[in-house]
Chains A and B, each alone.
Chain A
Amino acid sequence: MRSFLRSPFSTLITLLTGLVVLLGYFLDIEPLRELRFRFLQWAVLLAAVSLMLGVFNLLRVHWSRLRESTSKALYSLTFLGGFVLAVLMAGLLGIQHFLTHAVVDYVIVPIEASLFVVILVTLIYALTRSLQNRFSVFSLVFLLTVLFSLLASVPLLGVEIPFLHGGESIFAIGQRVLGAAGVRGLLIGVALGSVITGIRVLFGLDRPYGE
């Protein structure tokens, strides 16, 4: 059965499903649209199920680490305890309960906010060392662009400099022209790559996740 599924049969299913959704998106044919909608609904369900499977996998990994009694077992214990607590609270008390609110307000959000500060410190640190790691024209231009963008985003000690701040400032024009152009170029490249990769997978030319 396993080899049967791994055979061209699975590739055929992939191809047909992908073609139906793709053509249903481009062509305004009612049966095709209806079929595409059904497929999408199933896909949404599968995505939700895969989330649950991911959570179960996480629990399993931490459980096995706890059983191995390694030095990192404390983190796994914390995770498992927090998971159980969150499930009980949300399941029994509901999302509108004040305890649930308290957990969100005083645990989840502060932890994530502190992690965001860590990201900020990390990025500043990485920027300061960028010239040491790669002393190149690219690094220099990148650094100067960052500094210029930051300078133009806030008034300097409460003073807005005309050519630097405002809608018609150098920064705004540079952002609208150079920045937007760069963004569009990158997005076009990314889109091309995504489409080509999708074509490869759709027509069975490449199976990065299997045989």
Chain B
Amino acid sequence: METQRCPMCGRPNPPELEVCQYCQARLKPLWAEPSTGSSEAREAGISKSKPGLEPEEPLLPDWLIASRGQMSDEEPPQSEERGEDAFLLPPEEVEIDNFLGDLFSDEPAEEKEDVPEWLQALRGEKISEPQSSPLSESGEQGEPLPFWLGLGTGETEQAHAESASAEEKVPPFTESPFEGIDFDSDLLSLEEEKPAEIGAQPDIQPSLSPFEGIEPFLLEEEKLLSESPSPVEEKTALRAEETAPLPAEGDWTSETPPWLEALPGLEWEQGEPRGEEMPPEFLQGVVPPFVEADEELSEIEFPEWLNQVERSIEPELEAVMDTLTPPAIEMLADQEEGEIVPKEVEESHPQEDIPIEVVGPLHGLRGVLPAEPLVAEQKKPSKALSELLVTDKQRAQAELFLRLIEEEGKPKPIPAAKRAKPHTLWRALIFLALVVAATIGYLLAPFSTPPQELSVGVFDAMQAVNQLPAQAPVLLIVDLEGSDFAEMQATTGAMLDQMMIKGAFFVLVSANQNGALQADRLLREVSRLNGHHYQPSVGWVNLGYLPGGAAGMQAFVQSLTEVMPTTIDGDAAWQSDRLKNIRTLSDFNLVVVITEDSTRARQWLEQMKGHVPVSRLIFAVSAQVEPILRPYYEANPRQVQSVLAGIRDGAIYETQAARRGWAMQLWDAYTFVVMMGIALIFLGSLVYALFALLARRKGRAEREGR
């Protein structure tokens, strides 16, 4: 299936499409399409998509507007009627200005009426009947014809007819680019590297490129600038042009000009399959693909006017060549190499006084205001400007930046992570000091002085124990860890001793995993130390571990026989004679909570509230728990009968009960250890505070020193 390739993305598209279905680029250039409607924009080479400039964006300089106005006054609307007379090059300044005006016009391009004749000729859009020709036919098949091939189109005949009329109105040569061009001499000058080709094809080689007259924006700017011929080459070409005689009419038409041979697609003539040659990228979308025409250029009959052009433009062209700039000459030289180099627009204005612009984007145009040397004089920059002004801060920053870059590649040692020194020696000293103090205190125990003041809590506890009947059931809730056993043993030893003297029967329960073992051990130790013969199952039953935390405590308090029905050994706990009457907590004569945990102490206190008479509730706690339970003890009404706190209360209890126990044995050691701790904390804090102050002072000095 025949497809057409998109000039932008290169993807194949159906032939009937005008716009690429992938990238929305135009597949068929606007100006190559048959004239079916408004064609001003296409004729000007401006796509319809070019938006018209806003009136408030005037881009035309005043001089151009003026010239446009002049030209528009002079220019009859016959510009559209010019067929072949409108050749490639817009010979008149009017055309060029109009063309430029089209570019920079504030009005939409569609409104412009002036159209270059050459463009009209190419388009064949003369309103008059388009004559078919091989070239035009091939163009009409959908492939746009190269405009330079319009020389041999079938429109030439009509152009002949019209040329006369056109000449009458406006001298056609004024628009012809070939005025004054000696094609043979040009051919010789430009095709020096290809003498064979030149000799074989003494075609008219216009010194000016077929692309002359095309606006710079349509041409490849790089080639324009880089391939413009040098002035020497231009002059050489011109001289050759001057000396070479004009070929006879018709001679040049029979031979293919070298520049034509140099165009791409030549190989097609030489037997390669015909096809369309894609124009350069800068022309894609604007210039239609080149299509090999069936008709040889040499076979084409050129119009009479062209011959006249040849004769008439020679002197003027000679003058023009004198004014060619080096870039133009380079372009001409590149033509010799067969490249399709768009030539600069050569001004062939009959008004030779009007200078040609040689620099900038308006290079090659006549009638533009000269930018150089008057306006944009190249001046050497002042020395002050040429020197870089660098402030001290910028210099410092630049040096820092350079240093950073230099140091980037240098390996830096990774600093070891700072870890706190374990201060093992200091810890060892602390431990040794405490051990020494404890040893001294333990050795001095026989000489110790017990606490003198009677604690209110001890008094209340003693009172509660004294009121116990014989062999009364006592609930011992022992929530102890092994680490606190010694302290709680000292705190509760005397009280438990007193209870054992009264023959109390203990029921042990614990809300922590270790408590059951500790409770058992506690009673064994008290019994052993004080000479009681308390045995398990006889002197106490151990219900074991009560899980569930506060919820378990609440469940136990509400229904203890159901929650803890058996002992830790698996025996039925509440079937014994001593416990058969126990159903609720209030059935116990005394409830003692022994714990070192403040949270558990509060939990037990709050859960037992209302279930145990206050007078029967005693708490024996560690010294750290005492501040938390004191509000309950000092409340009015009280919520707990007594709070025994720490070794101190245990020692007081032993003293009051006249039963020497662990508390008194440990009291002096305890006091010595506490005093040693005070000394260690005090001295150590002083030393470390001093270190800290010195370090801060040092740090401050370093910061200030920077």
Contacts and interface: CB of A to CB of B under 8 A. Distances in A.
Given A40-B554, A124-B681, A125-B427, A113 B483 contact: yes
A112 B688 CA distance: 30
Contacts of B627: 175, 179-180, 183
Contacts of B520: 95-96
B277 to A, nearest CB: 67
Interface string A97-122: 00001001100110111011101111
Nearest to A105: B521
A167 B548 contact: no
B451 A120 contact: no
Contacts, number: 155
B563 A150 contact: no
A155 B686 CA distance: 24
B639 interface: no
B671 A112 contact: no
Contacts of A131: 685, 688-689, 692
A44 B562 CA distance: 13
A112 B480 CA distance: 11
A113 B547 CA distance: 24
A15 B226 CA distance: 85
A116 to B, nearest CB: 4
Contacts of B521: 101, 104-105, 109
A119 B516 CA distance: 24
A176 interface: yes
A121 B453 contact: no
A151 interface: yes
A130 B430 contact: no
A51 interface: yes
Interface residues of A, number: 58
A161 B556 CA distance: 46
A163 to B, nearest CB: 13
A36 B481 CA distance: 31
Interface string A166-188: 11000000011001100110010
Contacts of B687: 128
Interface in A15-69: 37, 40-41, 43-45, 47-48, 51
B534 interface: no
A81 interface: no
Interface size class of B (residues with CB under 8 A): 35 or more
Contacts of A96: 520, 536, 569
Interface in B508-551: 513-514, 516-517, 520-521, 524, 536, 542, 547-549, 551
Contacts of A208: none
A153 interface: yes
A51 B513 contact: yes
For B426, B453, B634, B678, which residue has the most chain A Cβ atoms within 10 angstroms? B678
Contacts of B524: 101
A44 B547 contact: yes
A176 to B, nearest CB: 7
A184 B513 CA distance: 29
Contacts of A92: none
B552 A47 contact: yes
Contact of B517 (A95, A113, A132, A183): A95
B435 to A, nearest CB: 9
B677 interface: yes
Interface in B590-646: 623, 627-628, 630-631, 634
Given A95-B569, A121-B431, A44 B551 contact: yes
Contact of A121 (B434, B482, B516): B434
Given A113-B485, A150-B678, 9 more contacts: A124-B430, A124-B681, A124-B684, A125-B427, A132-B691, A146-B681, A158-B448, A160-B451, A175-B627
Interface of A: 37, 40-41, 43-45, 47-48, 51, 94-96, 101, 104-105, 108-109, 111-113, 115-117, 119-122, 124-125, 127-132, 135, 143, 146-147, 150-151, 153-158, 160, 165-167, 175-176, 179-180, 183-184, 187
15 contacts: A37-B555, A37-B558, A95-B517, A104-B517, A109-B521, A117-B431, A122-B427, A124-B430, A124-B434, A124-B677, A125-B427, A127-B681, A160-B452, A176-B630, A180-B627
